[in-house]
Amino acid sequence: MAVRHHLVRRPPQAVWAVLADPSRYGTWVVGPSESTPLDGTWPEVGSRLRYTVRLGPWSTEGTTTVRHVVPGRELELEAAFSGLGTVRIFLQLRPWGEETLVVCDEHPLRGLGGTLHNSLSETAIQVRHRSMLARLAGVVEQDRTTDDRARSRHA
């Protein structure tokens, strides 16, 4: 099971605002481009997003379904890729002073990915997490810069 954490220099509500915005899914998740809500209101349990994952000339459609949510604190997703199976992704936001410790726990759940899961695929997931959590932090922290500029103009 691949577990990784990252400190985001913003409070949990700022991180949650990005996680709860379906139009920003492709900005912090590694792989997907252009996410489109399919049903429900993201991130309610059962709501889904559809997206395309591209790797060079290869691409596949994927969907992500919310399986569990505690607004502002936990988001558990099941990402499905045709022919490859599904993975479980659990994101937990822990207040860390005025910042947020984001914990990501991911593992293959069903299909080919689960069958072929080994130490090599575990390493690949860890590399993906490092990039994904850094991207999430960048998106959230960039919003802070925008917020700070707006506040200084009105002061």
C-alpha closest to that of 137 among 95, 97, 102: 102
Indicate whether 151 pLDDT > 80. no
pLDDT in tens, 61-118: 889 999 999 999 999 999 887 767 888 999 999 999 999 999 999 888 776 555 565 5
The matching CATH number, chosen from 3.30.530.20, 3.40.50.450, 1.20.1250.20, 1.10.1300.10, for 2-148 is 3.30.530.20
C-beta of residue 62 within 8 angstroms of C-beta of residue 69: no
Lowest-confidence pick of 10-14, 46-50, 106-110, 128-132: 128-132
pLDDT in tens, 24-58: 888 888 777 677 888 879 999 999 999 887 777 87
* Cβ-Cβ contacts under 8 Å for 66 (sequence gap 6 or more): 40, 42, 43, 44, 45, 46, 47, 48, 75, 76, 77
Count other Cβ atoms within 10 Å, centred on residue 30.
Answer: 15
Tell me if the pTM is above 0.85.
no
Give the pLDDT score at 128.
60
Whole-number Å distance between alpha carbons of 73 and 89: 14
